[in-house]
Structure 1
């Protein structure tokens, strides 16, 4: 069936109704009459030739076509918001916008350390962070939604993606725990890890395979009491005392300060690497270049603090979970 041209105002009304779950609440949010939204939705469905919403009790729910339309509407209006922000920043020569994708497997303390150099530029930096799966972030990078992706792995080779991986550094991995657990399992390490409660990343995380191999090679059988897809959640449960948890050795002081955890022992020969993935082989964004200049060629160690920026950076954090 041939359709007429898509009216983006109608699509925006649909998008808000889908988010609010109600025409009434959408009307309140948009500041228009309920009848106006109902009429615009009817015109959109007529133009598309499919029903997008269906009544269910007092709410409206998405049809199969509506769910598909919402996926595209999310992308359209996200890009619209980013365009407005970018144009607003362009009017202020002192503001530098940096859109960063942070892989959910990357330790957040590492991400913070990597971004520190960018935030110390003399220009005002508006930092917008998105957390998501590595593969999804790569897709956003290729369509220029992101300036750079920070992750624990290089981009896969042998694909059509025109992206380039820049190794920033690496760190040994150690085990940490609350003081009570650390006192119990620190002596006679690593033999003491037999039967010890352990929190680990899920098996789709690169570092998980290396940790499993380390235990197998030494004939050790810890009790894995929790597996986590998100690194921040793993650390949170570690802080609660549920079990021992791995973290980069270079962040020992940060882990102790933020999570009240103590170092138990190092998993020798287990290393985690950290990458910046960009669209260009040679990074041209000033903030990303600052990251590479500060980190390139160095293992993650505590560096002498640079001079603090004169202006306070603006930071936004957005989790792109579906």
Structure 2
């Protein structure tokens, strides 16, 4: 008696369950001819007919019905095994609690956290966004594993934690193609009296932007201040004004928001920090974030 071919058994079982070679082929992502050929090979190896024609339909023979009982047990047990394995893997997936300061650009936060969910033993992310001082209080109570911020924790805080600089980069001015066409010319002079969107006063880089404008003798029309960088980019995408964002994210920002880069401002430096309770970075997820920042995003 030849060894049982489980691939053939799966094809036979699918045809028996769907009642049609065409439906089985669709479910198996094969052609009907391929499924029919596999069924014929299976019948030849067993030495029995499994299906018989009834008009345009097919139905199981007595032998086919007997085999179906065993096939049901085999594949139902296999599905139960896979369910149990998935439950086991889900139970092993630990929660990684990340605080993200609301002033950190969302596109940078995503790029930093992406490698954490792609680890060999991936984590389940629990992200909280808020003001840095509130996140620090959560970190002190061990309700967070790490904080991503656009500034270091101040020396005046009583919380025992450590700042880890992930990287720094300059900023780029972005705007819609229509704005770029209207305010064309040499950069940054083209921004004179142009509508401009800037981060709110809680964002660490706002002061640097205003100083750059003053030193460059630029007088754009500030049409809005935004604590939420994503909201500022939404206004920028709608053409409300030019805006600044990290140069390291230039391709992503242009693609996501349908804008163009007007000019780079390397003198305005935006910094991104990790803040942790531990002095050394030992957690695999935190190490993945740090390595991605240093070797990819801010390289």
**TM-score, normalised with respect to structure 1:** 0.63
Residue 211 of structure 1: aligned partner:
209
SS of the residue corresponding to residue 254 of structure 2 reads helix
Q: Deviations over 1:186-241 (max 9, x none)?
A: 42211111111000011222111000000100111110000011111111111111
Q: 1:260 aligns with which of 258, 261, 267?
A: 258
> How do 1:69-218 residues align onto structure 2 when only pairs under 5 Å count?
94-218=92-216
SS of the residue corresponding to residue 292 of structure 1 reads helix
Tell me if structure 2 keeps the 8 A contact 1:171–1:299: no
CA distance in 2, matches of 1:174, 1:296: 20
Structure 2: state its 5+ residue gaps.
1-86
Tell me the CA shift for residue 159 of structure 1: 2.6
* 1:129/1:122 CA distance change after superposition, 3 Å: same
Tell me the CA shift for residue 282 of structure 1: 1.2
SS of the residue corresponding to residue 205 of structure 2 reads helix
CA distance in 2, matches of 1:247, 1:260: 14
Tell me if structure 1 keeps the 8 A contact 2:167–2:271: yes
Tell me if structure 2 keeps the 8 A contact 1:235–1:245: yes
Tell me if structure 2 keeps the 8 A contact 1:114–1:295: yes
CA distance in 2, matches of 1:248, 1:272: 7
> How do 1:28-107 residues align onto structure 2 when only pairs under 5 Å count?
94-107=92-105
Which structure: larger Rg?
2
Q: Does 1:278 align with 2:271?
A: no
> How do 1:224-303 residues align onto structure 2 when only pairs under 5 Å count?
224-296=222-294, 300-301=298-299
Tell me if structure 1 keeps the 8 A contact 2:198–2:243: yes
Q: Deviations over 1:70-123 (max 9, x none)?
A: xxxxxxxxxxxxxxxxxxx99955302111111110000000111122122011
Once superposed, what is the RMSD of the aligned Cα atoms? 1.9
CA distance in 2, matches of 1:291, 1:206: 22
* 1:258/1:297 CA distance change after superposition, 3 Å: closer
Q: How many aligned residue pairs are there?
A: 213
Deviant stretches of 4+, over 6 Å: none
CA distance in 1, matches of 2:187, 2:292: 35
Tell me the CA shift for residue 158 of structure 1: 3.4
**TM-score, normalised with respect to structure 2:** 0.68
* 1:251/1:294 CA distance change after superposition, 3 Å: closer
Structure 1: state its 5+ residue gaps.
1-88, 302-322
SS of the residue corresponding to residue 116 of structure 1 reads helix
CA distance in 1, matches of 2:200, 2:90: 44
